Chains A and B, each alone.
Chain A
Amino acid sequence: MTATVRVELPAHLCRLASTSREVHVLLDGTVTQRAVLDALELAYPMLEGTIRDHTSKLRRPFLRFFACEKDVSHLSPDEPLPVKVSEGKEPFLIIGAIAGG
């Protein structure tokens, strides 16, 4: 079954990808962080390297992932995301850490 996952991007990445704040990616199989980010980068190749490292695929240090009001940044990238995300009822949020004065 194909899931439509809503992904909310920070403003800088919207500008880079020339897209709106929320984008949709289509996924077959289990909806995980890795699957969402793989699909996102496939649809928007200019985002490669800006959310996670090109080679290690680790999340960049100043970014966090949220879903259903929970910080899921430290979950395994292969752990299923909440059902509401896979159902498209809640977005997967990519958020830049608040830093600076």
Chain B
Amino acid sequence: MSRIRLLVGTRKGAFVLTSDGIRKDWSVSGPHFAGWEIYHLKGSPVAPDRLYASQTSGWFGQVVQRSDDGGVTWNAVGNKFVYDGDAGTHQWYDGTPHPWEFKRVWHLEPSLTCPDTVFAGAEDAALFRSIDGGDSWQELAGLRKHGTGPAWQPGAGGMCLHTILLDRANPQRIFIAISAAGAFRTDDGGLSWKPINRGLHSQYIPDPNAEVGHCVHHIAMHPARPDTLFMQKHWDVMRSDDAGESWKEISGNLPTDFGFVIDVHAHEPDTLYVVPIKSDSEHFPIDGQLRVYRSRSGGHEWEPLTRGLPQTNCYVNVLRDAMAIDSLDSCGVYFGTTGGQVYASPDAGETWQAIVHNLPSVLSVEVQTLS
């Protein structure tokens, strides 16, 4: 029988939650790395017991942890992230040049084919790769140096590279997203990159054709249809059907199109999930009602999913990497909140239950479907 393993990163440690395929009863292991911020954990698709975790602290800097037994034991691996050559400058909040400074790893994306290869998305924005299981890291500097880098600016959470999407059909293609620079694509394995932001409109950018500067919060892709991308921007939910060459808005009837997470059903490439958040100044659900919205038509038309979710006095947020979807036949949807709850739906969003209630503020949720 299949098993499910959830990898939950929080402000004060990591937690590993496991269940059988029914997904009703869960065991909780943790906190791992107690007291440290765990921005993200993720398992290798080809060696599921190989996990990577980004452990970080304002005091002590960055640590990367690796497990080879599904999160039972961990070893610190390489944490030396050095920008390639002269790091140069990006723009600071006030528009002045600011030197690139490494702060932390927001997202770790293991290779689809090799357990020792893993990508790391960093703040200040850069993409690093390890081909030795995290022992050493090299920057894929073509991204930062393709030309627009000096114009990038941080979003409120810092200038973070938070999304890394690998294309199963084309190993040379990678999509990434940066707050608040936008989305970028490489078609040659990371040597050269291009901005893919045409069609995005941001109120604070007067130029409607601005190549960069958009605050992309997250991007999702169905592996069977890699040219179709779904984006939750700061405001606006967007869709591209040409690998990011152009974007169209699909916010439709959402009650607010601000939010952080977006994800795609495991078996229905046109079924999407978002969690609408009231606004950029009020990071909580509208009217204190926690609602996941689902579109089964690739956008435009959305339905609220509420059964089992709090519908009164709920003022949590769901951060950009805090939603995940398993691949069982009746696909499971999971998300974590800044209030420390992790919700699970074993039936594609129809019903929900809180599988833990009182963790530290949740930063990320990933899921592994294990045989």
A46-B76, A49-B79, A55-B82 known; A12+B61 contact, CB < 8 A: no
For residue B85, CB closer than 8 A to chain A, the reply is no
CB of B58 within 8 Å of the partner chain: yes
- Tell yes or no: B60 within 8 A of A by CB: yes
With contacts A12-B35, A12-B36, A15-B33 known, is A46 near B63, CB below 8 A? yes
List residues of chain B with CB within 8 A of the CB of A54. 79-80, 82
Q: Tell me whether B59 and A62 are in contact (CB under 8 A).
A: yes
B59 near A96: Cβ-Cβ < 8 Å: yes
Q: Are A16 and B76 in contact (CB under 8 A)?
A: yes
- Complex contacts, A15 vs chain B, CB 8 Å: 33-36
Residues on B with C-beta less than 8 A from A49 are: 61-63, 79-80
How far does the Cβ of A90 sit from chain B's closest Cβ, in whole Å?
A: 23
A62: B residues at CB distance < 8 A = 58-59
- Size bracket of the A interface: 10 to 19
Q: B57 within 8 Å of A by Cβ?
A: yes
A50 vs B58: C-alpha distance in the bound complex, in angstroms? 10
Q: How far is the CA of A13 from the CA of B62 in the complex (A)?
A: 12
Residues on the A chain within 8 Å of B80, using CB: 48-49, 54
Please determine whether B35 and A50 come into contact, CB atoms closer than 8 angstroms: no
A sample of 9 more A-B contacts (CB under 8 A), given A15-B35, A54-B80, is A11-B35, A13-B60, A15-B36, A48-B80, A50-B57, A50-B63, A60-B60, A62-B59, A99-B58
Those of B17-72 within 8 Å (CB) of chain A: 33-36, 57-63
Residue numbers in B under 8 Å from A97 (CB-CB): 59
- In angstroms, Cα B69 to Cα A48, docked, is 25
List residues of chain A with CB within 8 A of the CB of B60.
10, 12-13, 16, 50-51, 60, 63, 96
Tell me the residues in window 57-87 of chain A with beta carbons closer than 8 Å to chain B beta carbons: 60, 62-63
* A99 proximity list for chain B (CB < 8 A): 58
Q: Cβ of A13: which chain B residues have Cβ within 8 Å of it?
A: 60
Number of A-B contacts (CB under 8 A): 47
Q: How far is the CA of A56 from the CA of B57 in the complex (A)?
A: 19
Closest to A95 in B: B59
Which of A11, A16, A60 is the one whose CB lies under 8 Å from B63?
A16
Please, which residue of chain B has its CB at the minimum distance from the CB of A17? Answer: B76
Can you list 22 pairs linking A and B with CB atoms under 8 Å apart? Answer: A12-B35, A12-B36, A12-B60, A15-B33, A15-B34, A15-B35, A16-B33, A16-B60, A16-B76, A46-B63, A48-B79, A49-B61, A49-B63, A49-B80, A50-B57, A50-B63, A50-B79, A54-B79, A54-B82, A55-B82, A60-B59, A60-B61
| Residues in A whose Cβ lies below 8 Å from that of B82 | 54-55
Residue ID in chain B nearest A44 by CB atoms: B76
Q: Closest Cβ of chain A: how far from B245's Cβ, in Å?
A: 39
In Å, the complex CA distance between A78 and B282 comes to 51
Instruction: With a 10 A CB-CB cut-off, give which of B58, B76, B79, B80 has the most chain A CB atoms.
Output: B76
CA of A15 to CA of B60, assembled, Å: 12
Residues of A within 8 Å of B34, CB to CB, are: 15
**Cα separation A23 to B35 with both chains bound (whole Å):** 21
The CA of A46 and the CA of B62, in the complex, are separated in Å by 11
Bound complex: CA A99 to CA B59 (Å): 10
Q: Does B59 lie within 8 Å of A12, measured CB to CB? A: yes
Cβ of A63: which chain B residues have Cβ within 8 Å of it? 59-60
* C-alpha spacing A62/B57, complex, angstroms: 10
Q: How far is the CA of A12 from the CA of B76 in the complex (A)?
A: 14
- For the complex, what is the distance from the CA of A97 to the CA of B59, rounded to whole Å? 8
Nearest to B34 among chain A residues (CB) is A15
In the complex, what distance in Å separates the CA atom of A16 from the CA atom of B58? 15
Chain A residues, CB < 8 A from B62: 49
Contact with B along A1-33 (1 / 0, CB 8 A): 000000000111101100000000000000000
> How far is it, in angstroms, between the C-alpha of A11 and the C-alpha of B57 when the chains are bound?
13
**Once the chains are docked, how many angstroms separate the CA of A95 from the CA of B61?**
14
Bound CA span A55–B102, Å: 12
A67 to B265, CA, bound (A): 58
